[in-house]
Structure formats: structure tokens, C-alpha cells
Amino acid sequence: MEEFKCPFSAPLITQQFGCTKAIEVVRRGGAEINCTDAVTQSRCDQLFQCLKLEALPSFGVEDDLLSMPHSVSVKIQYGGLLGLQRLLRAAPQLAERVEDVQVLIAEATARFGGVTRIPCTPLVDDITAYKPRARRGR
């Protein structure tokens, strides 16, 4: 069976966001999120790459797995999706969760005429402003 790694796994693994195409896979290193549909995964990955391209200069880092902090990737995932939801819903402020990531991206793709035409530049402020939830003590 082919596996399609989800580019928005951080908010899905915490179950703060949902996605009907996501499946949790447990490995030795812990849980991961895969996508059950190649087309959906490709669309999500294209959006993530666009968000990353637009946002990384604001953080002063390059797209390098060894030097880019994990926290930047997390902010791009959360802030990008929440910003996209705000943009589509014409909401004045960010919500706290996305019910179904693949539905949100499908809506944006339909509205803007393709995933590569989704305007990522207006989402940079949402990405940089995103503050992760404080970790609870164990």
C-alpha cells in the first residue's frame, strides 16, 4: 500500500484540526499522519509549499530540514490553514480550529481556480502571528 505523508500533520496529530482523508499511523518513533488519497495529498502539499515559500523570509530561515526550526513549520501549518479559513469565510479574526482540512483546501481551490492560484501572501501575517498553545504540565 502506498503511503502519502500529510504536510499538515502537526495540527492533525494533536487532534486540534480534523481531516476526513487523514489516517494515523503508529511507528517506532511515534504517531504520524498519512493521507488516504494521492490527489488530496498532492493538493495539500502544493499549498504547504506555497505557504512555506511566502512565510520563510519573515522568519529569516531557509527551507532546510537541518536549519529550519520545527516551530516554524508548525506555525506555517497552523497559521496558514487558519488564515486560509479566515480568508474564505471573510472573518475578522482567526478561529481556533479547522474542522476538515481537505474540505477547506478544496473550497479554496474551487474559489481561486486552482491550488496554485490560492493567494498565500495575505496569509503570512496569520502565520507569523500564530501562537502555539502552551503545553500542559504532566
In this prediction, residue 119 carries a pLDDT of 97
Residue-wise pLDDT tens digits, 28-42: 888 899 999 999 999
C-alpha span between 83 and 50 (Å, rounded): 13
Residue spans per domain, the chain? 38-129
Nearest Cα to 97, choosing from 5, 1, 8?
Answer: 8
Q: Is 60 exposed, middle or buried (0-12, 13-18, 19+ CB in 10 A)?
A: exposed
Give pLDDT, residue 1: 53
pLDDT digits (tens, 9 = 90+) for 60-115: 999 988 889 999 999 999 999 999 999 999 877 777 899 999 999 999 999 999 99
Q: What is the mean pLDDT of residues 34-61?
A: 96
pTM recorded for the entire structure: 0.90
Tell me if residue 118 falls in helix, strand or coil.
Answer: coil
Q: Given a cut of 90, is residue 3 above it in pLDDT?
A: no
DSSP 83: H
